[in-house]
């Protein structure tokens, strides 16, 4: 397999970012670590299965998780303003 | 043809320079696009970072900008060559529109990155090393130390500003 | 999929599940849930079900936004 080293790098970074996301207690500091994990997973999707549709799957996953992080951060900011 | 262990750091450095340059040119550190980005920037400033760099990191979290464009362009070039990279640029533009963003930074980054990566593939680099390089590049910004990264970004923003 | 990735991704899924159960703050719960989904996603792709994967990628954030809207706290509309 040609892409083996890239796979190892992406997998290890995904695990590292997931551990840091889980360990960090404050939500605003969790979100950048979660973003790193999303990058690593989106890269892994294409490396696991090189098919034209997997670009679409990676883009859909990345945009979806970005939207999710955006909604969580904005909602928390709004809640903090109201309090 | 260089070995993979040498190619990945070179690819990481190139991707880092590309996406930071495009983000700074499109004035991402100036203000948060949404409330959440501003809040993340303020939180990083409280932790001892700089506000401009923190706002840029918040913007990277809350909408697909040049870093997402570079990653998806690398994925596209890996699967289908230069046309795949340009298709990824279209997908990034659609994703930007979904996230209430003008979409100029992400699309520009994706087009520039697909041209750059296609050029390096001609020179003998493997495109999957650019995927790994981009993941390493985003790790250095968002995943290691937020105060240090935001201070570095604020210093680069100072040269532009 | 190689064995190394199976171990790493299963680790991410278990980590996300335990952290979701463990955390008290509702926002932390949602963030840990998206760690879990991120670990599950490559398994769907490795099976070759790319259409299912695209559907899951689009449905998950919509679910999160609905959860935020149901609690009456999503004022940004994003």
Q: ipTM score here?
A: 0.90
Averaged pLDDT score across all residues of chain C:
88
The reported pLDDT for the residue numbered A36 is 94
Cβ atoms of residues C43 and C14 within 8 Å: no
pLDDT at C76 over 60: no
Residue C10 to chain B, least CA–CA distance (Å): 20
Q: Report the share of chain C in percent with pLDDT over 70.
A: 91
Tell me the pLDDT tens digit for each residue of B118-155. Answer: 999 998 888 889 999 999 999 999 888 889 999 998 89
The reported pLDDT for the residue numbered C75 is 53
As a whole number, mean pLDDT of residues A77-81 equals 81
* Highest mean pLDDT pick, A54-63, B2-11, B28-37: A54-63
At B35, the pLDDT band (50, 70, 90 cuts) reads confident
**Structural domain harbouring B147:** 4-160
Distance of CA C72 to the CA centre of its chain: 22
pLDDT at C78 over 80: no
Spell out the residues 6+ positions from residue B24 whose beta carbon is closer than 8 angstroms to its own: B156, B157, B160
For chain B, the chains sharing at least 3 beta-carbon pairs closer than 8 angstroms are A, C
Mean pLDDT lowest among B19-33, B128-142, C22-36: B19-33
Cβ atoms of residues B54 and B41 within 8 Å: yes
Q: How many CB atoms within 10 Å of residue B120?
A: 18
The reported pLDDT for the residue numbered B158 is 87
Phi, psi of C48 (to 5 degrees): 90, 0
Q: Which residues of A touch B98 (CB under 8 A)?
A: 63, 67
Cα A76 to Cα C76: distance, rounded to the nearest angstrom:
10
Phi, psi of B103 (to 5 degrees): 90, 5
Tell me the pLDDT tens digit for each residue of B72-126. Answer: 999 999 999 899 999 999 999 998 888 777 778 889 999 999 999 999 999 888 8
As a whole number, mean pLDDT of residues C43-72 equals 89
Cα A40 to Cα C35: distance, rounded to the nearest angstrom:
12
pLDDT at A77 over 70: yes
The reported pLDDT for the residue numbered C72 is 62
The reported pLDDT for the residue numbered A18 is 94
CA angle, residues C51, C34, A16, in degrees to nearest 5: 110
Nearest residue to B134 via CA among B159, B110, B154, B99: B110
Kindly state whether A78 is in contact with chain C, defined as any CB-CB distance less than 8 angstroms: yes
Q: Which residue is associated with the tokens 């190619």?
A: B7
Q: Which residues of A touch B46 (CB under 8 A)?
A: none
Cα B17 to Cα B147: distance, rounded to the nearest angstrom:
20
The reported pLDDT for the residue numbered C69 is 83
The reported pLDDT for the residue numbered B29 is 80
Instruction: Give the DSSP per-residue string, C41-69.
Output: HHHHHHTT-HHHHHHHHHHHHHHHHHHHH
The reported pLDDT for the residue numbered B5 is 83
The reported pLDDT for the residue numbered B1 is 64
Higher pLDDT, A34 or B98: A34
Q: Which residues of A touch B72 (CB under 8 A)?
A: 42, 55, 58-59, 62
Instruction: Give the DSSP per-residue string, B66-124.
Output: HHHHHHHHHHHHHHHHHHHHHHHHHHHHHHHHHTT---HHHHHHHHHHHHHHHHHHHTT
The reported pLDDT for the residue numbered B113 is 92
* Residue of chain B whose alpha carbon sits nearest to that of A24: B143
The reported pLDDT for the residue numbered C73 is 54
Mean pLDDT lowest among B58-62, B102-106, B117-121, C40-44: B102-106
Element (H, E) at A17: helix A4-23
The reported pLDDT for the residue numbered B86 is 92
Q: Which residue is associated with the tokens 């520009």?
A: B108
């Amino acid at each position: 397999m040609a892409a083996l080293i890239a796979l190892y790098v992406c997998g290890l970074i995904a695990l590292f970012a997931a551990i840091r996301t889980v360990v960090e207690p404050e939500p605003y500091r969790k979100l950048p670590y979660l973003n790193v994990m999303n990058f690593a997973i989106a890269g892994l999707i294409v490396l696991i299965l090189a098919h034209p549709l997997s670009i679409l799957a990676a883009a859909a996953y990345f945009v979806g998780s970005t939207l999710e992080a955006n909604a969580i951060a904005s909602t928390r900011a709004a809640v903090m303003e109201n309090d | 043809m260089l070995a993979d262990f040498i190619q990945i750091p070179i690819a990481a450095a190139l991707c880092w320079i590309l996406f930071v340059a495009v983000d700074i040119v499109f004035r991402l550190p100036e203000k948060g696009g949404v409330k959440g980005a501003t809040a993340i920037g303020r939180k990083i400033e409280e932790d001892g970072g700089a506000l401009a760099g923190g706002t840029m990191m918040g913007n990277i979290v809350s909408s697909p900008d040049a870093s997402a464009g570079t990653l998806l362009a690398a994925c596209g070039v890996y699967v289908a060559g230069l046309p795949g990279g340009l298709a990824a640029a279209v997908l990034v533009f659609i994703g930007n529109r979904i996230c209430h963003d003008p979409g100029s930074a992400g699309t520009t980054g994706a087009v520039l990155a697909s041209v750059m990566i296609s050029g390096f593939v001609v020179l003998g680099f493997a495109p999957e090393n650019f995927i790994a390089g981009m993941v390493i590049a985003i790790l250095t910004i968002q995943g290691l130390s937020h105060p240090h990264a935001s201070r570095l970004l604020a210093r680069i923003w100072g040269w532009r500003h | 999929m190689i064995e190394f990735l199976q171990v790493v991704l299963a680790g991410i899924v278990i980590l996300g599940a335990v952290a979701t159960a463990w955390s008290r703050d509702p926002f932390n719960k949602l963030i840990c849930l998206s760690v879990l989904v991120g670990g599950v996603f490559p398994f769907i792709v490795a099976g070759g079900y790319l259409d299912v994967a695209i559907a899951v990628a689009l449905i998950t954030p919509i679910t999160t936004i609905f959860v935020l809207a149901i609690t009456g706290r999503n004022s940004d509309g994003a």
